[in-house]
Structures are given as C-alpha cells and as structure tokens.
Structure 1
Amino acid sequence: MTTSDTLFHEGELTAQRNAGEREIAERNGATVGRTIVRGALPFVRQQKTAYAASLDRNGQVWASILLGEPGFLAPSDDAAALSVDLGKVARLDADPFWENIRHDARIGLLLLEPQSRRRLKINGEAHLESDRLEVQVTKSFPICPRYIHRREITLPHPGEAAPSSTASHGHELGPEQLALIGDADTFFLASAHATRGTDCSHRGGPRGFVRHAGDGVLRIPDYNGNSMFNSFGNFLLNPQAGLAFPDYERRRVLQLAGTVEMMWNQSDPAGLTGGTGRFWEFRTSHWIESELPATLQAKFIEFSPFLPKVD
C-alpha cells in the first residue's frame, strides 16, 4: 500500500482541499494499492470491456473503448501485472489507441461491468509484445457503483469481427455529434499526470446531463464521488483531456480531444450538480466518430438510483 504522503499528487491534494473533502479522500485512499486486489482477480478475468486512457505523440490524452471476450484480460498470479490479448479485441482502426501504445507506455484502464455496476481501475506501464499488451501495475483500486446505469452488452467473437474502418473526423462539433452527446447518459474520461501516468474514469448521469454551451464547449456537472479527485487533480496540472461517448444501441462511439476548465462553488438553483456546486467545461479541439461492430447487441436495463434529483 502507498502511504498518505505519497498516495496523492499535488493536483489531487489541491482539488480535495478545494472541495473540502481531504479527510474523506484519505479514508478512501486506503483501498489504493500497487497491485490488483486479489479478491478482484476473478472479476478481471470475466470482463468483456475495458476503457483506456493513452497519450498520442503530441501529449494529447485520448479515451478509448476495448470490446473483448472473457479472458482477454489475464492478471498475473502475483496480481502485479496484467496481460491484454489484443487478438481477442474488436479493432476500431481510427482509434488513436493503437498508435499511442506503440510509443508511450503509460496506460490507464477502467474495467466496468454495467450489469453488476462493479468497476476497478488498473493504471500502469504497458509494453506491446506481438498481439499482447503487458501491463506492469502501478496503481489499482475498486470504485463504488454510483452513477453506473445497468446495461447488458454482448459481442460474439469480438476478435473475429471485421476491423471497423468507417469513421469521420473533425475539429468542430456538428449536428450529428451534438445529438449523440445530448442523448448520452454515460461517457468515459481520460486524463494524465507528468509522472503518475494516465487515468480513465466513468461519468454517468441522466440523459442530456452533458450540455453544449456553444462554440464546441461542453458543460458538465460534477457529482459527489470517492473524493480522491484523480481526474480533477490531473486537470489542475494538465488540462488535456479525452472523452469517449459510446452509443451502444446505434453501434457507434464518439471520441473527443480537448482541454478542461474547472468551476468550483457555482450557483446551481436547479440542482444539476447534486449539491456539489461543481461544473467543468470541455473545449473540443478534435473529434473522431467510429462505427462499432455490427454484431454488437446492447440492452438498457435501468438508470442508476444515485442520480441527483433535478428541479
């Protein structure tokens, strides 16, 4: 286990103090380790999706979705490493992830099982060996189930799916991209720290909780979480961010690259933040929209019971 003196970097500590949640962060930080918690190893082996943060050659961080089959994630017996079998993953050719992992070892993985609302972070250094990523774990911890909507996602034989080469790119969000974002109830957020590496987080809310503020800027409420502020802490030091909006029902994913500005102690008469008074704005610099495999099936089950009540 890491100590309280080294667990959080300076950005995370500042964010915790800004929110008045330093003591809560210290308590929750007891779950953070340098290996995968052994009780979670069966969970890791049975996962079919992973969400990843990686860095391109310009230092821009991207969020990606890896759709695989149970067993594509294989933790080592000592829980200090994770092997990712890329041959069992559906490939999206336009995703920067495939190029990023060839030149930058830093990777942040989020394993999330929407049926059970369980999730686990695994951050580390990844090395590409043939069709496998070998990840040396530097930080891992489980996270609470808040704001995860239950879905059943299936993709038969993802490694055999034809690579998705259909994609569109742009710098300014158009009507189709804004419609996808406006209908979203879930997205994944990537951030990075110069020495601590990359991190991938989940964000969930009611449909439409991400709002377009104009000129490609998205305004997003920040709900109560685990108080560690991994993403916000990174953004205080490095505003580069990546967002991935999956639209499983229409089989597509929208990846955004840009920068973040955080807003503390904001007026929130409608209760959009669930009482935190925190918002953040994301300014888009580039986007990629790709098709997910045609054989993917998704069934929405229910919204998270933790969503804030909005006036």
Structure 2
Amino acid sequence: MYNKPNFHEGELQAQAMAHESDIAARNASNVADHIIRPALPFVRQQRMVYAASVDAVGRVWASVLIGERGFLEPSDDASTLTIHLDNVIRQAHDPLWSNIEQDGRIGLLLLELQTRKRLKINGQAHLESDRLVVEVTESVPICPRYIQRRTIELPSTSDKLMPTSIKHGLTLEPGHLNLLQSTDTFFLATAHKTHGADITHRGGPSGFVEVLADGKLRIPDYNGNGMFNSAGNVLIDPRAGLVFPDYVQRRMLQLTGRAEMLWDQPDPKGVTGGTGRFWQFQTSAWIETQLPEQLSTAFVDASPFLPQGI
C-alpha cells in the first residue's frame, strides 16, 4: 500500500465541502499503485467488469464488459491487468471499443453482486492485437455498502457477440422511464484530464433515481469513503456517463451527459441518509443495447445500509 500522493483539486474541494478531509486522508492509505495480492484470485475469477472510457469528443461513457473466467489476467508483479478480448462477449455497439483506441484513460470496477465484493482498478490502457493491457495507476478495495445482492449465471458459450439490436437517441424516451425509476443499481463514470477515468457503483432502494419534469435525473448521494473521486472529477469536468444494466429484461441503457453534485439540499424525507447531497444528471445522448440471452439473475436481498426515506 502507499499513501495516495495527491488528490486533485476537485477531490480536495469536494472533501472540504463535505467536511470529510480527515476521513479521505485516512482512507487514502488503502489505495495502491498495483493490484493488491490478496485480490488476485478474485480478479481472475470475475466474468463481469464495469468500465469508464472517454470518446473522441471528450464525452464519458460507462460500459459493462462480460467474458469467460480468466479474461482478466493480472501480471506477476500485479502492476498491469490484461483483458483478453478474444474471451470477451462483445457488445459491438459499445463506445468502449472505439474510445480505447484514441484515449488510454480507463476506469474498471470488478463487482461480484453475489458476495458484494468489489475492487476498483484505474489506469492507462493500450491495445496489443487481441489484448487490452491496462497499466495500473490506482487500485483500491472499496466498501460493500448499498450493493443489492444478486445471483448472476452466464453459462459458458462459444458465441462471443451479444445480441446486435440497438437503439440510440439524444433525449430519453418514455420507454426508459420504467427502467430508470425502478432500478436499484447503476454505474457512474467520470474522468479527469491528468488523474484518469473512474467508475463507481451506485445503489439504492428501487425508485431512488428520480426523473424530473425537465428530463434531468436526480439521485441521492450517500455516505462513502470520503475521497469523493466522482464528485471531485465533475467539479473540474462535468462530463459523465451512466450505465443501467437491466438484468431481468437483459438490456443495457448507457447515458452520456453532464453531472453535478447539489450540496446542502433540503431532505425532509431523509432519502440521502443525512448527507443532504443529490446528484443531478442531464442526458445528451443514449444507447440501448442487449445483454446476453443466456444471462439469468435472481434478487437475493437489499443492502442493510440503504436509507429508509424512500
């Protein structure tokens, strides 16, 4: 482990605004510049990883990556992570594939919904034939709060392509509202010019994502590790991406747009768990695609840490 040498200016500002600078400094000791060795077996066993990337015009996207066990291979010294693309079940329309060819910033989140174990790996990526090699700049095991447990089964398959149906647009459609307003899980991608891309899990009670009359999304922000990586990034660059996996209907809604944190907001129902903070997100483009037909899931239980205000 190493003490994170520096938070960038946005993270420091967000920590100060939340009065959590001391908490952030303590938790920074959990950040490493390599994959911690106790996590290596966990990495090798994963079949799903969530990714943040940046496109040619600077828009940020969040993606879901699915592969056969072993498609994530840490190096012997744990300083790099190789993603074997020939073992990835590719969604051909995912912006990730073109993004990584022109911008090496990548954020990865390994999340095992069945056990609530998760590990964040950020770095710089480059393509080597059928491999995506990530030079790890930061890795940290993060807390399991707000994760809803699910079993996810995906039988091995020789078909490496997901269903090819795609819809896309600029303004959210009425058909998206049910997914957004019933979800209990999504992923938020942000980026900083020099500190790289980052993706984080966001979970809450079903209905915690509110669609406002003007189409903006409003989402409560709960207590976390105090480092405010996402909030700090959007203070500097508000461009962000969200991905909503619909495990039951086997579809995936990716949004890109602009995010901001609303601080010290009235919260009479206690939906923020006492933080008084809300995310607000304005969509500028969306893509709806399909998850593998073989995917099957079952809800196990909700996080015991969820605020009771909703």
Deviations 1:216-253 (A, max 9, x none): 20001000011100000000000000000000111000
CA contact (8 A) 1:252 1:292 kept: yes
Superposed structure 1 runs of 4+ greater than 6 Å apart:
none
Distance 1:78 1:159, change over 3 A: farther
2:11 aligned partner, one-letter code: E
d(CA) in 2 for partners of 1:3, 1:34: 10
Question: Which residue of structure 2 lines up, in the alignment, with residue 48 of structure 1?
Answer: 47
CA contact (8 A) 2:3 2:31 kept: no
1:104 aligned partner, one-letter code: D
Residues 145-164 of structure 1: pairs in structure 2 closer than 5 A:
145-157=144-156, 160-164=159-163
Deviations 1:127-179 (A, max 9, x none): 11121101110000000100011111121225624442101001111111111
Question: Which residue of structure 1 lines up, in the alignment, with residue 212 of structure 2?
Answer: 213
1:247 equivalenced with 2:269 (yes/no): no
2:284 aligned partner, one-letter code: S
d(CA) in 2 for partners of 1:214, 1:13: 33
d(CA) in 1 for partners of 2:8, 2:118: 23
Partner SS for 1:7: coil
User: Which consecutive unaligned segments of at least 5 residues does structure 2 have?
Assistant: none
d(CA) in 2 for partners of 1:161, 1:3: 40
CA contact (8 A) 2:162 2:290 kept: no
**What TM-score comes out, normalization by structure 1 length?**
0.97
Partner SS for 2:212: strand
Aligned residues: 310
Question: Which residue of structure 2 lines up, in the alignment, with residue 264 of structure 1?
Answer: 263
CA contact (8 A) 1:192 1:198 kept: yes
Question: Which residue of structure 1 lines up, in the alignment, with residue 34 of structure 2?
Answer: 35
d(CA) in 1 for partners of 2:158, 2:276: 44
d(CA) in 2 for partners of 1:16, 1:69: 39
CA contact (8 A) 1:192 1:238 kept: yes
Question: Which residue of structure 1 lines up, in the alignment, with residue 186 of structure 2?
Answer: 187
1:261 aligned partner, one-letter code: E
Partner SS for 1:14: helix
d(CA) in 1 for partners of 2:244, 2:72: 22
2:308 aligned partner, one-letter code: K
d(CA) in 1 for partners of 2:65, 2:226: 27
Question: Which residue of structure 2 lines up, in the alignment, with residue 222 of structure 1?
Answer: 221
CA contact (8 A) 2:61 2:240 kept: yes
CA contact (8 A) 2:231 2:260 kept: no
Question: Which residue of structure 1 lines up, in the alignment, with residue 282 of structure 2?
Answer: 283
d(CA) in 1 for partners of 2:6, 2:157: 37
d(CA) in 1 for partners of 2:89, 2:96: 13
2:170 aligned partner, one-letter code: H
Question: Which residue of structure 1 lines up, in the alignment, with residue 132 of structure 2?
Answer: 133
d(CA) in 2 for partners of 1:32, 1:287: 33
1:86 CA drift (Å): 1.3
Identity, % of aligned positions:
59
Deviations 1:277-299 (A, max 9, x none): 00120000000000111111111
